[in-house]
Structures are given as C-alpha cells and as structure tokens.
Amino acid sequence: MGELNTFPVSYKVQGQRIVIIGGGEEALNKARLVSKTTALVVIVSRNIEADFSELPVTVLARPFEDADLVDAALVFVADHGPDGDAAKRAARARRIPLNVVDVPEECDFYTPSIIDRAPVTIAVATEGDAPVLARLIRARIEAALSPNLGALAKLAGSMRDKVAALLPGTRARRYYEELVTSPEVEVALLRGQGAVKAESLLAQHGAEGDSPGVVWLIGAGPGAEDLLTLRAQRLLQEADVIVHDHLVPAAAVEMGRRDAERILVGKQKGHHSFTQAEINALIVRLGKAGKRVARLKGGDPMVFGRAGEEIDALKAAGIAYHIVPGVTSALAAAADTATPVTLRRISTGFVLATAHGAESEELKHWAALASTGLTLALYMGKSVAGPTAARLIAEGASANIPVGVVVRAGRKDRVLYRGTLGTLASGTIELEDGPAIIFVGEAIAHGDWSEAIELASSEFKVA
C-alpha cells in the first residue's frame, strides 16, 4: 500500500462548465487557474468585488441557482454565505467534484500548482500540506523547461498516424525520443518548419530498419540513489529492459521508463537466483532481439561483478556493449569513514580482493602487502572475517594492523566496526546483516571511525 491520499489525474473539462461561486479574491485566483482550460468558466455571486474583466469568464452577478450546475465538470465554492452552502449541497446532489476554498475537509479535490505548456501540463501537489513548497518546485521546473514544449508535444501528436503506419513499437518510441530531444527540431519549430523536419526525420527512421540491440553494463553504486552517475541515469531512461542484481537500490531500478521490463536475476542468499550462465544467455537473447538492455550491477560492474563473463558472452554473440562505471563499495566505505586508502608514507597502494574462497597462497601474498602498509579492501568476506584475519596473522601479518568494517556502505543505515587483525581474529563475530567491506591496513587509523563499534568490546563472544 502506498502513502498517497490523493491521486493526480488529467480530468476532461472541454465543452463543460467550471462553476465558481464567489466574487472576491479567492474566486479570482481559482478563475485564473481554470481559465487556462477550454471549459466555459462561470462566476456566480451577488457581490462581484474582484475584477474579472481580464479573464475569459462569464460573470453572473446574482444569487446561485441550482441550474447553474447543469453540465458542470467542477465546482469551486469561494463564498462563505448561503449561496456557498446551497452550491455545496447542489454539487454533492449532482455528484460533481467540489472544492471549497481553504476548507480541505470539505474538498473532493485540491488544485495543484500547474506548469502550463499546453498540451503538456505538469502539476505539483502536496495534498494541501505545503502549497509554498509546491510553488517553489513549480518555479524550478518552469525555469528548466523550454517555452516550446507545448509546440513540440503538438508536433509529436500530429505525427501519430504516420508514425504508427511506418514504424513498429520500439522504433516508433525511438523516433519520438529523437523528435522531442533534437535541437534541430526545436530550431525548425521556431522557424515554422517543424512539420517538414518531423517528416524528414520520420523518413530517415523508416529507411534505417531495425536497429541492433545493445547492452550497457552499468554500475549502480553502493546503494544510495544519489551515488548513481548521470550517465547511468540517462541510459536507464533509454533502456527497454533492466536486468538487475539484488544489491541494486530499488530507487535506481525505478529510474527506468515505466514501461521498461525489469528482471531481477539475484543474488540474494537463500533465494533462487539465476546462474551466471543463465544471466549471460539472457542478456545475449535480449541483445539479439534488438533490445537496449541496462544490466545494472551494485557498485562498479568491473569489480567482483562477473562483468568479464558477461562481456565474453556478448562479444562471442557479436552484440554491442558499453561499460558505465559506478562507485565501488570499498570507496563508498572509505568515504563513509573519511579513510584515505592511499596515504603518503603510510599506504602506497590499495588492493581490492575477495576473502571468499581465498587460498593460502593468496593470503600469504596479502599478508605481505598489508605488512608493507598497503590498504586491503576485502569483499564478500563477512562470513569468513574471523578465520581470514587469523590466517593473515598466521601468514606473518602483525596482529596489531588496524581493521575497519563497514556494513551497508554508502547508505544511511551503515554500521561501522573497528579493531585490529587480532581482535577480528579472536572474536566469534556477529556483524550486522548486509553487505560489508573489511579494510585492513595502517591507513585505517587515519580515518574517522568515531561512530564505530569496537571489535574488542564485550559485544563479541571471544572464542
């Protein structure tokens, strides 16, 4: 269940009346708003005080009559006397949606702030909670939108039949995308050449035939929607299909087009997830079908993201692909804790490694790196954190090397732990749920881990 108590719709009023009861400023404000429509706007009041002469409205300076509501699509009451009361009763009896100005309890609907680029309308509504905020948002959107937006929308509308006859679904959408975003079309429109340009663009799209599919391997960052790159955001909007992992933030998946297909391919512990071979086959099949596929991965796609296998499969099938980097979780963890992973005279390098399934040889190698000051970031290592630390010590790393763990890096609900290789090795650790990065190295001591839970504390059962 959602949280909205109201639902925005575009309500037809053409050929009908919008009736406003009242003759003061409030009535004038509503009249201004609704006279943007093609409805017949009628003002009814015994006391016409405001100046309606600038607006295309009909003013009836007399008491309200029930018949005023014949063919009315909407009724506004801005009269707190008997005429207002009579109009409210009449509107309810006729089941005409009613707005009683400044009395939210009596309203069937509210009026949003409107950005009018007819036929394009953008409505900003706050369910009456913060009209001032709605106006500020409106001003920002106004500033960002071309004044030609309406003309552009009309142009797109005028091409509908021709496009439908020439181009199938996906290709039609690409045509419209180019039509409404191309600067050349906008220039042509200003010169009164919009229709000619729209036609020539259509001919071009018609001649091109089916465009081949493409797969974008996109990094979605560590889980905060504002750590997504602008490029990722743009490509998500263009994608026909979004294939995503479990760790990808829902907000990023939401960013795609509403009608884009979304496929969750795992990987969550304990749930069925696609095998890597199935994922490879899926993106190849979609690419062959001419789809534009956003393959969204947590963090950066090239870091423990199985991107290598997916790229090989795409290459073998001759499908175009591009990589869009993302913020890898170790760097989000470094940011969360103000830890410089390289630091003059302390740490001359930064190693991304996985503790999962690490062999003795690798552990020996990392122990040597950590001993020379390099910062290790261990991925997928939470469940084996203690044993991994113990093995690093056994391979010669000092038990005093600082360790820091960030669970859910980059997110508001992150949790930090700090200690040393020794304290990590000695505890039967129950770290919080969620993905974690384990840092090992002297540079950790130079970060800000003041919120961190101490690994040595009694919260951990020492084995």
- Tell me which residues are annotated as active site: 245, 267
Which residue stretch of 120-128, 235-243, 292-300, 418-426 sits at the interface with ligand SAH (rule: CB under 6 A)? 292-300
Is 424 one of the binding residues for ligand SAH (CB under 6 A)? no
Task: Give 162's DSSP letter.
Answer: H
Q: Which residue among 23, 222, 249, 422 contacts ligand SAH (CB under 6 A)?
A: 222
Residue 374 contacts ligand SAH per CB under 6 A:
no
Q: Which residue number has the CB closest to ligand SAH?
A: 299
Closest CA to 388 of 373, 372, 374, 376: 376
Q: Establish if 417 lies at the interface with ligand SAH (CB under 6 A).
A: no
The correct pick among 223, 249, 419, 441 for binding ligand SAH (CB under 6 A) is 223
Which residues, other chains included, contact 108 with Cβ-Cβ below 8 Å and sequence gap of 6+? 97, 98, 99
Q: Of 17, 30, 297, 418, which one interacts with ligand SAH (CB under 6 A)?
A: 297
CA atoms of 334 and 341, how far apart (whole Å): 7
Identify which of residues 415 and 425 has a Cβ nearer to ligand SAH in the complex.
Answer: 415
User: CB–CB of 274/254 below 8 Å?
Assistant: no
CB closer to ligand SAH out of 23 and 222: 222
State which residue, 286 or 437, has the beta carbon closest to ligand SAH.
Answer: 437
Closest CA to 454 of 409, 407, 426, 420: 420
**Is residue 329 part of the contact set for ligand SAH (CB under 6 A)?**
yes
Residue 244 in the binding site for ligand SAH (CB under 6 A): no
Report, in Å, the least distance between residue 336 CB and ligand SAH.
Answer: 9
Neighbours of 276 (CB within 10 A): 15
- How many residues in the shown chain lie near ligand SAH by CB under 6 A? 22
- Alpha carbons within 13 angstroms on the beta-carbon side of residue 193 total 9
Nearer to ligand SAH, 60 or 335 (CB): 335
Listed in sequence order, the residues at least 6 apart from 309 whose beta carbon sits closer than 8 Å to its beta carbon are: 276, 280
Chain CA centroid to CA 334, Å = 25
Please tell me the distance from the alpha carbon of residue 237 to that of residue 255, in angstroms, as a whole number.
7
For ligand SAH, what does the binding mask look like between residues 143 and 182, x meaning CB under 6 A?
----------------------------------------
How far is 228 from 223, CA to CA, in rounded Å? Answer: 9
Bond prior to 267 in cis (omega within 30° of 0): yes
Question: How far is residue 304's CA from residue 308's CA, in Å, rounded to a whole number?
Answer: 9
Indicate which single residue of 255, 390, 392, 437 sits in contact with ligand SAH (rule: CB under 6 A): 437
Residue among 290 and 325 whose Cβ is closer to ligand SAH: 325
Determine which residue in the list 304, 321, 366, 439 makes contact with ligand SAH, applying CB under 6 A: 304
Q: Across the strands, what pairs with 41?
A: 18
| Among 198, 243, 409, 431, contact with ligand SAH (rule: CB under 6 A) | 409
Q: Find the part of the chain contacting ligand SAH (CB under 6 A) among 106-114, 146-154, 252-260, 431-439.
A: 431-439
Residues 117, 31: Cα–Cα separation, whole Å: 18
Counting contacts by CB under 6 A, is residue 23 touching ligand SAH?
no
In 45-148 the beta strands, taken as DSSP E runs, fall at: 58-60, 72-77, 98-100, 113-117, 120-124
User: Within 13 Å of residue 10, how many CA atoms lie on the same side as its CB?
Assistant: 10
Give the range of 31-39, 98-106, 143-151, 296-304 binding ligand SAH by CB under 6 A: 296-304
State which residue, 246 or 285, has the beta carbon closest to ligand SAH.
246
Please pick, from the candidates 99, 328, 347, 423, the single residue that binds ligand SAH as defined by CB under 6 A: 328
Look-up of token digits 């069937």: 108
Q: Which is nearer to ligand SAH, 37 or 329 (by Cβ)?
A: 329
Considering only the C-alpha atoms of the chain, give the largest distance between any 2 of them, rounded to a whole number of Å.
96
Please, which residue, 222 or 402, has the CB nearer to ligand SAH?
A: 222
User: Among residues 33, 247, 260, 392, which is the contact residue for ligand SAH, using CB under 6 A?
Assistant: 247
Instruction: Rule CB under 6 A: choose which of 120, 145, 281, 380 binds ligand SAH.
Output: 380
Tokens of 452: 């961190």
Is 422 among the residues that bind ligand SAH (CB under 6 A)?
no
Query: Residue 320 is which amino acid?
Result: A
Tell the smallest beta-carbon distance from residue 129 to ligand SAH (Å).
33
- 21, 87 in Cβ contact below 8 A? yes
Length of the chain: 463
427 contacts ligand SAH (rule: CB under 6 A):
no
Determine contact, residues 418/404, Cβ cutoff 8 Å: yes
Min separation Cβ 289 and ligand SAH, Å: 27
Q: How far is the CB of 330 from ligand SAH (least distance, A)?
A: 7
Query: What is d(CA 24, CA 40) in angstroms, rounded to the nearest whole number?
Result: 19
Q: Judged by CB under 6 A, does residue 408 bind ligand SAH?
A: yes
Where do we find the tokens 């093609």?
38
Write out the residues near ligand SAH by the rule CB under 6 A.
222-223, 247, 297-300, 303-305, 328-329, 333, 379-380, 406, 408-410, 435-437
